[in-house]
Chain A
Amino acid sequence: KAGVTQTPRYLIKTRGQQVTLSCSPISGHRSVSWYQQTPGQGLQFLFEYFSETQRNKGNFPGRFSGRQFSNSRSEMNVSTLELGDSALYLCASSFRGSSYEQYFGPGTRLTVT
């Protein structure tokens, strides 16, 4: 089985712009979660989707949003980018959710200048 794929792998944006990141889960997995990883804050939960429904959301401002499509692929969007949004954004997929094995993609490295 192919693993979790994320596109793009690297991205450079300017403050004030917006960005959309994409995640394709492992085939058959219906749960997709997003995490932000920074040296200072570590791995922090952004949101989780299952069958196109958001089941949980982390403590991030409304500039961070996401969605899931009927084929389980997911996107996250960050509007009005700030320097502090520079991070590695990780997507993880699971058959049912966080209480089952979650497999992570390689991440998208976002740099905001």
Chain B
Amino acid sequence: GESVGLHLPTLSVQEGDNSIINCAYSNSASDYFIWYKQESGKGPQFIIDIRSNMDKRQGQRVTVLLNKTVKHLSLQIAATQPGDSAVYFCAETASNDYKLSFGAGTTVTVRA
């Protein structure tokens, strides 16, 4: 079968390297997925989103991949910087559900 990245609660990355954060979602009916970044003392900040009719979307230094077959979502951060240190959450929702369901979060620490 296809290998799926495991969700890790923490990730330590060398500055300048690429980061990959994984998330498994639970609802097959979910059709909209979002990644958020939360820094200490702040609310979650929108990073990038993707709808279920896509399998990849790119932003500035970030890429989100969606694998609906295995219900897996990943966030790739290119050339990780110290300012990327934060907790990253994936969230899912289905049309007309009117709520976001969040994953457990991954704490990313960037080493200088």
Binding site for B on A (CB under 8 A): 4, 31, 33, 35, 42-45, 48, 50, 55-56, 58, 90, 92, 97-99, 101-107
Contact = CB atoms under 8 A, between A and B. Distances in A.
A55 B99 CA distance: 9
Given A90-B44, A102-B34, A104-B43, A33 B100 contact: yes
Nearest to A99: B32
Interface string B28-64: 0001101010000111111001000000000000000
Interface in B55-112: 89, 91, 93-95, 97-105
A81 B78 CA distance: 44
Contact of B105 (A42, A56, A58, A99): A42
Nearest to A107: B43
Interface residues of B, number: 25
Contacts of A31: 98
16 contacts: A4-B43, A31-B98, A33-B99, A43-B44, A43-B102, A45-B99, A98-B98, A98-B99, A98-B100, A99-B31, A99-B95, A102-B46, A102-B100, A106-B43, A107-B42, A107-B43
Interface of B is mostly: loop
A37 to B, nearest CB: 9
Given A33-B99, A102-B34, 18 more contacts: A31-B98, A44-B102, A48-B99, A55-B98, A56-B98, A90-B44, A92-B43, A98-B97, A99-B31, A99-B93, A101-B34, A102-B46, A104-B36, A104-B43, A104-B46, A106-B41, A106-B42, A106-B43
B101 A45 contact: yes
Given A42-B104, A43-B102, A56 B97 contact: yes
